[in-house]
Structure 1
Amino acid sequence: MTTFGALGIASTGMTVHRKWLDAISDNLANANNATRTDEAAFQARYIVAQEMQEGQGVHVAGVVLGSEEGRMVYEPTNPLADEEGYVRYPDIDMSSQMTTLIMAQRGYQANATVVDRARATYEAALQIGRN
């Protein structure tokens, strides 16, 4: 694999991990948003990554949305509560979101390290050519 190939593949990985981080941050930001029981709850977003042809990296193939049913919580003092005292919250598990957040951060960092190392290798090759 060439230096440019490593740069290209790592940059596609960084893009996928950035979009994964964006989806996770949306999920975490909306995890405690209550809605009326007759409305849909916030749907968690999950990124689907797919390998590009001939090993040229990865790309986001799509986004899968979580359940719009969410979970019903008894909160009679909530202004959005129905006549029985229930509101609807998204079905988002904070611990699994935090786990995936760490995985996405580490993946982004790993790809950034590859980009940095490939850049340093390219600069060293240019220095050799100058001498």
Structure 2
Amino acid sequence: MSLFKVFDIAGSGMSAQSVRLNTTASNLANANSVSTTEEGAYRSRQPLFQAALDRAAGGNDATVGVRVLGIMESSAEPQRLFEPGNPQADEEGYVYKSNVNIAEEMANMISASRSFQNNIEVLNTSKDLMMRTLNLGR
């Protein structure tokens, strides 16, 4: 495996965690939103990742990175709340609140942030090791 492939692998991990952070931010921003209908209520979203195997042309060299397959929407039901004074209440006085779990999203945000930081550490350590190797030739 080429020494430079570590940058591709860590970069794909950083890109994936960036998508995860953005999705979490969107979920947190819509955590307290309400809707008139159950179908219109915001539903929590999560990115779906897949290991991406890259083979070098004409060789047995292979590296594994991360690829985002898409964003999946939660199938959990939104909360039905009785709020007859809410302007978005239906004719029975109910509104539908998003199904976002704030504690779960905060844990996702911390995990994604730490994973992103770990990939940065991999990049910096690899760079430092390559620079030290180059300096050995002096």
| Shorter-chain TM-score above 0.5 | yes
Q: Which residue in 2 is equivalent to 1:22?
A: 22
Aligned partner (choices 124, 127, 131) of residue 116 of structure 1: 124
Measured after TM superposition, the shift of residue 68 of structure 1 is 7.8
Q: Which has the higher helix share?
A: 1
Q: Which residue in 1 is equivalent to 2:113?
A: 105
Query: How far apart, in 1, do the equivalents of 2:76 and 2:86 lie?
Result: 20
Q: Which residue in 2 is equivalent to 1:64?
A: 72
TM-score normalized with structure 1 length: 0.89
1:52 is paired with a residue of what secondary structure? strand
2:34 is paired with a residue of what secondary structure? coil
1:127 is paired with a residue of what secondary structure? helix
Q: Which residue in 2 is equivalent to 1:10?
A: 10
Query: How far apart, in 1, do the equivalents of 2:76 and 2:41 lie?
Result: 5
Q: Which residue in 2 is equivalent to 1:84?
A: 92
Q: Which has the higher strand share?
A: 2
Measured after TM superposition, the shift of residue 43 of structure 1 is 2.2
Contact 2:51/2:65, CA 8 A, preserved across alignment? yes
Q: Which runs of 5+ in 1 are unaligned?
A: none
Q: Which runs of 5+ in 2 are unaligned?
A: 54-61
Q: Which amino acid aligns with 2:103?
A: S
2:99 is paired with a residue of what secondary structure? coil
Contact 1:41/1:69, CA 8 A, preserved across alignment? no
What is the alpha-carbon root mean square deviation over aligned residues? 1.7
Query: How far apart, in 2, do the equivalents of 1:16 and 1:5 lie?
Result: 17
Query: How far apart, in 2, do the equivalents of 1:38 and 1:121 lie?
Result: 55
Q: Which amino acid aligns with 1:10?
A: A
Contact 1:3/1:121, CA 8 A, preserved across alignment? no
Number of matched residues? 130
2:46 is paired with a residue of what secondary structure? strand
Q: Which amino acid aligns with 1:33?
A: S
Measured after TM superposition, the shift of residue 35 of structure 1 is 1.1
Query: How far apart, in 2, do the equivalents of 1:17 and 1:76 lie?
Result: 41
Q: Which residue in 2 is equivalent to 1:31?
A: 31
- String of CA shifts for 1:86-131, please: whole Å, max 9, x gaps: 11111111111111111111111111110111111222223333x1
**Percent sequence identity over aligned pairs:** 34
Query: How far apart, in 1, do the equivalents of 2:70 and 2:38 lie?
Result: 28
